[in-house]
Amino acid sequence: MEVLDGVIRPEDVVVLVATGTHRASTTEERRAMLGDAVLSTWRVIDHDARGGTGLIDLGMVGDVPVWLAREWVEADVRITTGFVEPHFFAGFSGGPKMVAPGLAGLETTLELHNARRIGDARATWGVIEGNPVHDAVRAIALTTGVDFALDVLLDDDQRITRAFAGEILAMHAAACAEARREAMQAVDAPFDLVITTNSGYPLDQNLYQAVKGMSAAAEVVRPGGTIICAAECRDGLPDHGSYGRLLHAGRSPADLLERIAASPVTVPDQWQVQIQARVQSKARVLVRTDGLSDPEVRAAHLEPIRDIDEAVGRFIAAHPAARICVLPQGPQTIPYVA
């Protein structure tokens, strides 16, 4: 703010919260993200993917119909800020993802997250080039134009460890290379049991988000193995969005995958259900949570447990020679079989 004083008037600046298709941020969340000084000085707006006149149609970029936030498109100077970590189907977060799906209309996001893209083997942790999701995201960011980009890496306590700035794609590539070195680890063989988390609050605020921790574990669990996921889920499934409704519409993970593959349209949150079902087609998934009842966990096609130590003990008793992997930070520590 000190750099901008006297150069840019406060009324000339708008801070866009790139919520994608998710709910708007609360007052408390905005205060935690931005601080009172920013909130009292500049306009802060949550993106609304269903915003109607708040979106502008930019036509097709490749095979994706692009609608973006009007405030973003009509700005004279566009700056993105983000956090880079491995992402379970976009390769890495941050960078061009701030534009789309961060500031994209629902139609754009649904196309970026359709079953074909999400089901592609290259739409996975740590892969950008050749990833059909990230390839489209980069093309949209370039078409819109980003004047300056800033991304950071964070440690376990959410402190900034490295910062990268400049032209968005070059900056993001450098940040991804460092994130890959710090957050991804090769292992020599799959494991019988993988114990994971979703890296604590706020990342484990609901079961929808906890699918990321399950996906990280699935990278190194053997076919037919077991995953134990610990996630608080204080926000439930959550109640908003289509995730819960889609889960409850299927009889089993296999049935969910068949329904998604057969559907001619992409439904919001379908991608999370698709990935969860894909994980469950590979391994048994047990969930320890305080935010959901046992019947709610079972209705999501998962197995509830109350005590992780007890569950691990039973597993070891049944499989004395089992190989076990523990991912304390869940989706922020991504193993892969070399």
Asked if pLDDT for residue 2 goes beyond 60, the answer is: no
Residue 154, strand partner residues: 160
Tokens of 313: 């003990």
**pLDDT band with cut points at 50, 70 and 90 for residue 158:** confident
Which own/partner pairs from 155-162 qualify as long-range (CB within 8 Å, at least 24 positions apart)?
156/329, 156/332
- 301: closest CA among 318, 283, 328, 324? 283
DSSP string, 1-64: -TTTTTTS-GGG-EEEE--TTSPPPPHHHHHHHHHHHHHHHSEEEE--TT-GGGEEEEEEETTE
Query: Bigger pLDDT: 36 or 5?
Result: 36
CA 139 distance to own-chain centroid: 19
Instruction: State the pLDDT at residue 144.
Output: 84
Instruction: State the pLDDT at residue 241.
Output: 86
What Rg do the C-alpha atoms of the chain give, in angstroms? Answer: 20
Asked if pLDDT for residue 125 goes beyond 90, the answer is: yes
Report the share of the chain in percent with pLDDT over 90.
91
Q: What is the mean pLDDT of residues 271-288?
A: 98
Q: Which residues are catalytic?
A: 22, 87
Instruction: State the pLDDT at residue 6.
Output: 62
Average pLDDT, the chain: 95
C-alpha atoms less than 13 angstroms from C-alpha of 28 in its C-beta half-sphere: 1
Q: What is the mean pLDDT of residues 143-165?
A: 93
Asked if pLDDT for residue 104 goes beyond 90, the answer is: yes
Q: What is the mean pLDDT of residues 58-63?
A: 97
- 303: closest CA among 242, 251, 228, 249? 228
Tokens of 151: 């991304």
DSSP string, 227-244: EEEE---TT-S-SSSSHH
Q: How far apart are the first and last CA of the chain?
A: 46
Asked if pLDDT for residue 156 goes beyond 90, the answer is: no
Instruction: State the pLDDT at residue 64.
Output: 98
Asked if pLDDT for residue 5 goes beyond 70, the answer is: no
Q: What angle do CA 321, 327, 331 make, to 5 degrees?
A: 140
Q: What is the mean pLDDT of residues 264-271?
A: 94
Interval 37-52: pLDDT, tens: 999 999 999 999 998 8
Domains of the chain with CATH codes: 10-183 (3.40.50.11440), 188-337 (3.90.226.30)
Rounded to 5 degrees, φ, ψ at 265 are -125, 155
Q: What angle do CA 32, 35, 40 make, to 5 degrees?
A: 135
Taking the model in full, what pTM does it have? 0.89
Residues 6+ positions from 171 with CB-CB distance below 8 Å: 95, 149, 150, 151, 164, 165
Q: What is the mean pLDDT of residues 197-223?
A: 96
